Structure 1
Amino acid sequence: MDYGSQMNGIQSHIEMEVLDQRSTHDFEEESLISPERDPQKTHSLCASQSGGSQVCSINTLRNGVFMSIKIVIFTTKLNLLMPFGPLAILVHKFTGHRGWVFFFCLLGIAPLAERLGYATEQLAFYTGATVGGLLNATFGNATELIISIYAMKRGMIRVVQQSLLGSILSNMLLVLGCAFFSGGIVFYEKEQVFDKANAGVNSGLLLMAVMGLLFPAVLHFTHTEVHFGKSELALSRFSSCVMLLAYAAYLFFQLKSVRPNEEGSQIEESSDDDEVPEISKWESIIWLSILTCWISVLSEYLVGTIEGASTDWKIPVSFISVILLPIVGNAAEHASAIMFAMKDKLDISLGVAIGSSTQISMFGIPICVVIGWMMGRPMDLNFQLFETATLFITVLVVAFLLQEGTSNYFKGLMLILCYLIVAASFFVHEDPASVGEKQPQP
């Protein structure tokens, strides 16, 4: 008994020493690592020291700014295209060659749109999956909305309509197709699955958007307006208000009804997800503001040189509006949707691609009609017969592919090939309304 009690005492003494060593080691690790990860702790440590607390705070702030710039600006090779934005402005000032200005603006906006998606993704870490998906869709489409507003100010209604239509087509066919294809290649041995019910809700909203665009076009081409030139515009504005109301109800449904289920799934998946935010919440908000302002500056130059580029390159304005502009604007959706699909998070990819299309069709297009109404511009929902038919067929194809709730690389390849057919169609399509709308630029 004496030997056993002596051994127990020695063992307990050893355990106490090990615990003391661990606590000391943890304290040292916390003192070394936590200042880099938590600026608030660094500030408190600096303030606790006698004298030099202001110097420490300034150094901490400067290091935080440098680290944030390094993470946001220099962590992707696509940012090598950023100098083309200032180059476009210089070319516009000194040469006035609209084709090159348009081309450089396209190259300069592409990394900005991608970084806008990155900052949104970082902010989504602090807001949760539901609000994060909405933020992805909102700021992912910020480029298209900014371009549309500048085009509307210049009276280029057809460019606004076709660029918004092209954004929907690009997200539904190209972005979703690349996500399905990439995920199918990575997970070749299994079929990826996603929430079929949520995809069905988005498909229903897209069909409602097609209805809103179809009736003004049919009214125009059948010449059955009660008041020619006025009934079509009045119907478009009324339908836009209804679509905005439906989108608001959809947001309420997503945030209130679906959120508890998503929070439960987040708790279950938290053990397998080791991702952490790289920048803080306020850094994300600041970067979103900076990138949005810079995109606005380049968008003004981009819109002002669309027709000049069409003339210089001998490319239809409809092809530039429907294909080229959305590809640049949807760079953020491309990157995030493919990334999540390759991580077997297909629900997020679907939320980015289809959710972005839903937001453009149910919010972007109607809000542009309302903004045009306030600006005195005749922006309506008559997207002409060719464009409306293209959207209708696209929504049907995507709805049929989503109804099973599964994806593979072949479905992705089908969507990509469908987008190639759409692109070729608009390359040989000359829009009479766009030609008649051309105005001399100042």
Structure 2
Amino acid sequence: MKKYLFPGLLTLFFVLSAIGHFAEWSATLQFVISAISVIFVAGFLGKATESVSHYAGQRLGGFLNATFGNAAELIIGILLVKEGLFDMVKASITGSIIGNLLLVLGLSLFAGGLKHKVQHYNVSLAGMNGSLMIVAIIALFVPAIFLQSHELPKEHITSLSIIVAGILIVAYLLWLLFSMITHKDYLADVTETNAEELPHEHKPAWSKRQSILYLILATVMVAFVSEWLVGTLDTFTAKFGLSEIFVGAFVVAIVGNAAEHSAAILLAMKNKIGASVEIAVGSSLQIALFVAPVLVFVSHLFGRPMDIVFTAIELAAIGVSVFIAKSITQDGQTNWYEGLLLIAVYAILGVSFYLI
């Protein structure tokens, strides 16, 4: 009976979310049902990711989770770009980066650290992730600084944005080549043999083909449920008088990353911290080095060029997030208190954005 309970509830709430969306139920009821649906879909995605990780290894499994998780954000971002809502797009990108670096990583380290005193992962990977985060910050800071200090024609800003976006995409693709192929062993997991395995977990519940299929299916479900849930947020933001930048950077980002949050935390509690770090940090890098630049190019297809110039507040938030995340992860070992520090910084930023 228990075996069929979770799939049944997952299907039930997903269907109810769809009906509520297309039948245009009250925003409050849609929000509650969609939020519950997100919880079940997140659990489904987490289980699929763990199963894939069993066959592909923690790093590749974490990368797949981050990629499929960000697919939903990319779709939503494209729709926002099409409507010309560039401020919301940039706020959402900011929220995704700081949310993954501070909230997702923080909760993962905290939950995993409570169960396992100290957790270890590849220190070389930690150093490379830190360097890539610094590159992302430089790429976002330089256009903003030049724009603030010099009066540049609009076409020059557009050209600068395209060039920077192109460089970031190439750098990210070469990073995948470096980390997954040419230096795969150099960045291999150190926790694979130490990961906690319960007796019934030696063999995953699904085959390799089923795991990949369910991972794709779960991602599609996440994309739909997240979009339905985000569609109900206008009523709540209007009711509580929240700013657009707060909604984009925190509410939309948290909802859009719900599945990744769940998967990273569950894996950390099973002492698979390598996969958790790959999900949290890898997702932030993917957003900064790939998703954001892609949206810049997509905006030109719609005839509404979007620049890569972020506001001072957004740059400050991303900057402090990268600084504390790099400081904590660079030694290749973690504990619950380091996770608490990341959550504390996220709370500080959240309050600051809320009061804008």
Q: Shorter-chain-normalised TM-score: which range?
A: 0.7 to 0.9
Q: Which moved more, 1:237-246 or 1:404-413?
A: 404-413
Partner of 1:407: 334
Counterparts of 1:280-429 in structure 2, within 5 Å, are 280-302=207-229, 304=231, 306-429=233-356
Q: Distance in 2 between matches of 1:298 and 1:271?
A: 32
1:169 aligns with 2:103: no
Q: 1:156 to 1:103 in 2, by over 3 A?
A: farther
Q: CA deviation at 1:98?
A: 5.1
Gaps of 5+ in 1: 1-66, 430-442
Counterparts of 1:83-232 in structure 2, within 5 Å, are 85-90=17-22, 92=24, 101=30, 104-188=33-117, 191-225=118-152, 227=153, 229-232=154-157
Partner of 2:171: 246
Q: 1:391 to 1:84 in 2, by over 3 A?
A: farther
Q: 1:99 to 1:309 in 2, by over 3 A?
A: farther
1:233-254 Cα offsets, whole Å, 9 max, x none, are 2211111110010011110111
Q: What code does the residue aligned with 2:162 have? A: R
Q: Which moved more, 1:81-90 or 1:335-344?
A: 81-90
Q: What code does the residue aligned with 1:224 have? A: E
Q: CA deviation at 1:333?
A: 2.3
Q: CA deviation at 1:84?
A: 5.1
Q: 1:81 to 1:378 in 2, by over 3 A?
A: same
Tell me, what secondary structure is at the counterpart of 1:171?
helix
Q: 1:372 to 1:396 in 2, by over 3 A?
A: same
- Give aligned pairs, total: 354
1:148-198 Cα offsets, whole Å, 9 max, x none, are 12222222112211112111111111111111111221124xx33222211
Q: CA deviation at 1:264?
A: 9.1
1:236 aligns with 2:161: yes
Q: Which moved more, 1:154-163 or 1:77-86?
A: 77-86
Q: Distance in 1 between matches of 2:130 and 2:191?
A: 25
Q: CA deviation at 1:269?
A: 5.8
Q: What code does the residue aligned with 1:185 have? A: L
CA contact (8 A) 1:143 1:295 kept: yes
Partner of 1:54: none
Q: Distance in 2 between matches of 1:284 and 1:348?
A: 16
Q: 1:248 to 1:407 in 2, by over 3 A?
A: same
CA contact (8 A) 1:85 1:107 kept: no
The TM-score with structure 1 as length reference comes to 0.71
CA contact (8 A) 1:118 1:332 kept: no
Q: 1:215 to 1:102 in 2, by over 3 A?
A: farther
Q: CA deviation at 1:405?
A: 2.6
Q: Distance in 1 between matches of 2:216 and 2:47?
A: 13
Q: 1:278 to 1:394 in 2, by over 3 A?
A: same
Q: 1:139 to 1:73 in 2, by over 3 A?
A: same
CA contact (8 A) 1:110 1:328 kept: no
Highest CA radius of gyration, 1 or 2? Answer: 1
Tell me, what secondary structure is at the counterpart of 2:304?
coil
1:343-381 Cα offsets, whole Å, 9 max, x none, are 223222211211111111111111111222222232221
Q: 1:345 to 1:338 in 2, by over 3 A?
A: same
Partner of 2:7: 73
Gaps of 5+ in 2: none
Q: Which moved more, 1:251-260 or 1:266-275?
A: 266-275
Tell me, what secondary structure is at the counterpart of 1:380?
coil
Q: Distance in 2 between matches of 1:86 and 1:240?
A: 36
1:389-434 Cα offsets, whole Å, 9 max, x none, are 11011111111122333222211111111111111111112xxxxx
Root mean square deviation, CA, Å: 3.1
Q: 1:151 to 1:275 in 2, by over 3 A?
A: farther
Q: Distance in 2 between matches of 1:303 and 1:154?
A: 16
Q: CA deviation at 1:294?
A: 3.8
Identity of counterpart residues, as a percentage? Answer: 33
CA contact (8 A) 2:191 2:271 kept: no
Of 181, 190, 195, the match for 1:256? 181
Q: 1:265 to 1:185 in 2, by over 3 A?
A: closer
